[in-house]
Structure 1
């Protein structure tokens, strides 16, 4: 597992590469869109501008999240990544809604121009560049377990898909159907809104301590059951904290155990979970006495 310093360094490098490419690409797309009359390419270029804003937000949030715990933040600053991801979702949503308004006004105005040939090549350049950037960023995001960086990677993928829509719109317009270009711009805008809403749903769920992964509960339950002295495992709660997860669980032990022995079992459970999953930040173990058969069954099932 990467140390926090190395994790931030890897995330910062990926973010700076993304930022540089997006500056160049958005400048090319917006300039070509205005110069050669393509609403679809302008929309696609503004999507790349929102990529730049999101990359900056994610870079800052990763930096803040690696700050150590203090008196006011005893669990550290890991939530900064969820906050950054939420801001990214709002950026996408706002960008998409503004583009929808602009393209709808353009369609109903009836003033639709045919894009120049160069806009086709710019769209093709964007497709390959953004897909490559997606592959690189998502790889780093998974390596350092950064939800913010992974969300940013999907933003790159959405930009590649919007460039495909722009390419189709521009091609249709140049083949004699001018309405295809602004319609492609509208499709790009709707797609951006959809991506923004999806990112917001996930990040807000994590900020409200929603369970990050239901499958992990079963995995952690089985790990806890293997610890010597554990007779049953009760309720398990998970919550995300940046790239980490915090576990709250109940375990049952023999009633005859002393407080010291019960504490040892709880410590062993905590150590075992940390050992088996490097992303576990903290484990809170509540020890219950192993009771009658009916209650035993409920404890074993986590009820």
Structure 2
């Protein structure tokens, strides 16, 4: 587990880099957006403000998840990351709706102030910076296999794309289409809400013990191919932060000894760790051909 907590510390480093970048860029964009009269750049600045909150939530979740298991949390505190992401999604949605309301209001009230061309350069520079942050965090997330940091990296990439969209809107306004700047601000608001919805959907799916069926099939295949396993009565899995918890009921030759059955369980645990990087596997061994114990209800696929 020491390596796991060490990887979480590396993930915290990536979260800190995101926070620092967002603080600088959000202040820069908001000041320039107001100074250069660009609704799109101002909306992009508010987008980065929500990203500060989301990154802080990820950082807090990572710190809490480093707490070791205790009497109340036998599997550790890894789900803190998911809860933090869920909270961040509500904050992002609130800000996204605010940006939408302001942009639509300014569009229909006939405010047609042409933004300064320099605001487009601000947006493009911000896109390059966020692209660099995305590359750093995505590589680190793949290295330490951290889903929370990978989600933050994807948010970095979406922010770079939002900044490019803002630049396009500003340049369009320079070509005699002042409404295009407002339209870009509306698009930014929708993108903020869309990102918030994605985080909310993924978080609630994990918190309600949802699990991808294709991935569950892969886990079942790995178990079925383990020497000594003659059948699988049931297999379930759930996400616990960045970890996967697996419960499986296998069938073995009824003539095996207790020690031999235990050895098969050890092989399953080793294969799951090696092939899928899953550390928590609970294996229940049943003799093949013997009816399940009374009251046992096999898992029915949905």
**Fold shared per TM-score above 0.5:** yes
Deviation string 1:52-104 (CA, Å, 9 cap, x unpaired) is: 11111111101111110000111100101111221222222122111111111
Deviation string 1:15-73 (CA, Å, 9 cap, x unpaired) is: 22211111111111100110111111000011111111111111110111111000011
Q: d(CA) in 2 for partners of 1:236 and 1:208? A: 17
Q: Where has structure 1 moved over 4 Å in runs of 4 or more?
A: none
Check the 8 A contact 2:29/2:44 in 1, yes or no: yes
Q: Which residue of structure 2 aligns with residue 93 of structure 1?
A: 93
Instruction: Find 1:285's aligned residue among 283, 286, 291.
Output: 283
Secondary structure of 2:236's aligned partner:
strand
- C-alpha distance 9-259 of structure 1, shift in aligned 2 (>3 A): closer
Check the 8 A contact 2:148/2:242 in 1, yes or no: no
Secondary structure of 2:247's aligned partner:
strand
How far did residue 254 of structure 1 move? 1.7
| 2:32 is the alignment partner of 1:28 | no
How far did residue 141 of structure 1 move? 1.8
Q: d(CA) in 2 for partners of 1:131 and 1:83? A: 27
Q: Which residue of structure 2 aligns with residue 202 of structure 1?
A: 202
TM-score by length of 2: 0.90
- C-alpha distance 97-77 of structure 1, shift in aligned 2 (>3 A): same
TM-score by length of 1: 0.90
Equivalent pairs counted in the alignment come to 294
Check the 8 A contact 1:233/1:302 in 2, yes or no: no
Q: Which residue of structure 1 aligns with residue 67 of structure 2?
A: 67
Q: d(CA) in 1 for partners of 2:102 and 2:41? A: 13
Secondary structure of 1:273's aligned partner:
helix
Query: Where do 5+ consecutive residues of structure 2 fail to align?
Result: 291-297
Q: Which residue of structure 2 aligns with residue 295 of structure 1?
A: none
1:206-285 to 2 correspondences below 5 Å: 206-211=206-211, 213-278=212-277, 280-285=278-283
| Greater alpha carbon shift after TM alignment, 185-194 vs 19-28 | 19-28
Check the 8 A contact 1:2/1:144 in 2, yes or no: no
Q: d(CA) in 1 for partners of 2:144 and 2:224? A: 29
How far did residue 302 of structure 1 move? 8.9
Q: Which residue of structure 1 aligns with residue 52 of structure 2?
A: 52
Check the 8 A contact 1:251/1:287 in 2, yes or no: yes
Deviation string 1:93-120 (CA, Å, 9 cap, x unpaired) is: 1221111111111112212210012101
Query: Where do 5+ consecutive residues of structure 1 fail to align?
Result: 293-298
Check the 8 A contact 1:235/1:302 in 2, yes or no: no
Check the 8 A contact 2:172/2:180 in 1, yes or no: yes
Check the 8 A contact 1:84/1:148 in 2, yes or no: no
Deviation string 1:136-164 (CA, Å, 9 cap, x unpaired) is: 11221222222221111121112111112
Q: d(CA) in 2 for partners of 1:121 and 1:181? A: 14
> CA-atom RMSD, angstroms?
2.2
Q: Which residue of structure 1 aligns with residue 164 of structure 2?
A: 164
